[in-house]
Amino acid sequence: MKINPKESLLDERRSLLKILITLMVISSMAFGALAATTDTSGSISTTGSTSPASPAYTQVTVSDVTLDPGTFATGDKGTITVVVQNTGTQSVTIRRATLYDSNIALVSTTTYDSVGSIGAGNKMPFTFTVKADVPEGIYYPVFSLEFQDTGFLRYPVKAEVKNSPVVLSITDKPDTFVPGKKSVVTLSLSNLRTNAIKNVIVSPNTSDAEIIPQNIVINNLNPGQTVNLPFNITPKTPTDIEFTAVYLNGPNTHQVGLLLPVRFNNDKTQADPVISNIVSAPDGSNIRITGDVTNSGLQDAKSVTVAAGSPAIPVDPFKVYAVGLLKPDDFSSFELTVSPESPDTVPVIVSYKDQDGNVYTRSIAADISLAKTPKGNSTTSYVPWIIVGIIAIVVGLAIGYQYIRKKKP
Amino acid sequence: MRYVDNLVSMIQNIISVLIHPDEFFQEKIKSEENLKIPFLFVAIAGVIGAVYGYEIGSLTGRMFAAAGAGVGELVAVSSVVGAFIGVIAFWLIGSLIFFLLSIAFKGTGGFTRTLECVGYGFIPQIFGSLVTLIMALYYLPMVQVPVVRSFTDAAVLQNAVSGLMHDSAMLELTKVSVVIAAIFLLWSANIWIHAIRYSRNISIKHAAVTVLLPVIVYIIYTLFVTFAGFSALGGFK
């Protein structure tokens, strides 16, 4: 096949033309793209830009916003940190950065009046201290970045102010408190806020009770979380125990309190030894006191002992009578020996221990005056013995008479 | 008139037994054996003893009254029956002892005759029981009675009984009654000497030994236990 040289030249020219047209189309598309306005952050203002090519500051965007605390309470101070990033290939000079709002007050002492340049690909944080001395609500303080040459970046920051409480409450406590008896009181701490609180310290405040532990620390309490706080309380006297939970909401210290009234009353289920059937009688040269001790309570009475208290003078063999364990509705007899030198009324003391080893005592007065009465004292009368003597004489005469009569002739 | 005559005759017999026992048994031995009259004397002594037992039993009954319904009454009835039977038993056992001891002296009379004659010797016991009863009525109201609420604890029971026996009025009554019993027992012994002499046909000396030996031992024992308080023999101290 033979090729025509004219046709070959014509084909080459056509190809060059195609390439030229293609290049022109591509170039026009590229320039058109560069001339268009770009908004990558959604809040960047490109005011004053007239160049067909986008200026470098347009590549500066807000990459992160952090609020501490996450949710403010009315009156809380906190920080708002805005991180901007230069996503372009040229450094951008920032003249000033600020945050402003008509409600949320800026209390920062540090200003960003002359920031400087932010290099290509770099990030730069701007932290502002604010005070949310406002009612509950959602506020939008505006972060504003002013560039050196021209242009601004404005970014509204969402800040929520909410006074949802942290609640300290009593979950479990005994029906009654007993002096010296350890009782478990369980508190609960609930975080009803929408942000986590930190460094929570729950501590009781009283000197009239021994409380273990002295305080409970919770590092972090997430929103909606509740923790139980058990305290072992051994009260000495009736008192009001004030529990305080101190926590941090961001940098702000808050506290909630709870008053636990401790009033003494008889434990409805505790052991209740009752002394009854007390009888006193002479026992040789001493006086013996006998009786019964019955546990009319609902709990065991442990290590039960019965003794005659002062001013009685206990003597052997029963200075103290050890009963031991006395179960509910069980009873035991006891006996004590006291000196006749003791007063007419002596206290009979029963002591026992509960499950925790706390010692309790009960006392009842016993009258031993009758037992102290010297033998025959109350009944000393010589009349019966005189009668007996007369009878003896009469009998003697009756017997003697018959023998005397017999001897007579 | 017949009853009056019998009564007069019985009084004469009583006086005769008390004042002239020798003549009484000398004549009695000649008549038929008859246990009715001696039993009557013993029974009278037993009834008076039962009344005394009732008084003491009531006291014990009061002590146990709180321990359960009927316990006090049971104790009182037991005391009455025990006291009456005790006197009858005392008659029988005493007669048997005298009868057996007199065998050593070659006594020849029968046991029934011995029983009859010894029964007459209980006449002083009637007076003795009466005096003791009067003494009891004097002393018992002064006794402080312990209360026993349960029989489950032996120690408490023992303490309560001990407390009752150590009551000053009770102790006094015990001593007085023991002395009275000893006096009238000696009077009875005097009668029993003559009773054994004739019923067993032995000498007066042998009869005295037969009677006085057990009686003196018994009296010494009761006096010793009551006053010296030898607890091993059942004393109170």
Give tens-digit pLDDT for B116-140.
Answer: 999 999 999 999 999 999 999 888 8
Residue A173 corresponds to which amino acid?
K
Across the interface, whether the CB atoms of A376 and B168 are under 8 A apart is answered yes
Query: On the CB side of A288, how many CA atoms lie within 13 Å of its CA?
Result: 23
Rg (CA), chain B: 20
- pLDDT tier, B162 (very low <50, low <70, confident <90, very high otherwise): confident
Say yes or no for a CB contact (<8 Å) between A395 and B147.
Answer: no
B19 touches chain A (CB under 8 A): yes
Query: pLDDT-derived band of residue B150, with 50, 70 and 90 as boundaries?
Result: low
Sheet with strand A137-139: strands edge to edge: A71-72, A159-161, A137-139
- The DSSP-derived string for A194-221 is SS-EEEEEEEEE-SSEEEESS-EEEEEE
CB contact at 8 A, A330 and B150: no
pLDDT tens for each residue of A362-377: 888 888 877 765 544 4
Q: How far is A358 from A209, CA to CA, in rounded Å?
A: 15
Number of Cβ atoms within 10 Å of the Cβ of A234:
17
Size of interface A-B (CB pairs under 8 A): 88
Q: Is A155 helix (H, G, I), strand (E, B) or coil?
A: strand
Q: Is B150 in the A-facing interface, judged by CB distances under 8 Å?
A: yes
Nearest-angstrom CA–CA distance, B39 and B126: 12
Over residues A349-365, the pLDDT tens digits come to 999 988 778 788 888 88
Which among A266, A258, A260, A312 has a CA at the least distance from the CA of A289? A312
Beta bridge partners of A67: A80
Q: Is the ipTM, as predicted for this complex, more than 0.90?
A: no
C-alpha closest to that of A37 among A48, A26, A28: A48
Which residue from A339, A167, A336 is spatially nearest to A254, judged by alpha carbons?
Answer: A167
pLDDT(A50) > 60: no
Q: What is the pLDDT of residues B75-122, one digit of tens each?
A: 778 888 988 899 999 999 999 999 999 999 988 888 999 999 999 999
CA distance A110 to B155: 92
What is the spatial distance between Cα B40 and Cα B86, in angstroms, rounded to a whole number? 15
Q: How far apart are alpha carbons A255 and A195 in whole angstroms? A: 16
DSSP3 helix / strand / coil % (chain A, rounded to 5): 15, 50, 35
pLDDT at A332: 87
A184 min Cα distance to partner chain B (Å): 40
Mutate which of B139, B149, B193 to disrupt the A interface (most A C-beta within 10 Å)? B149
Which of A380, A399, A406 has the highest number of chain B CBs within 10 A, making it the mutation to test binding with B?
A399
Mutate to test the interface with A, among B126, B177, B180, B194 (most CBs of A within 10 A): B180
Whether the predicted pLDDT of A252 surpasses 60: yes
pLDDT in tens, A287-335: 888 888 899 888 888 999 998 888 888 887 788 888 889 899 988 888 8
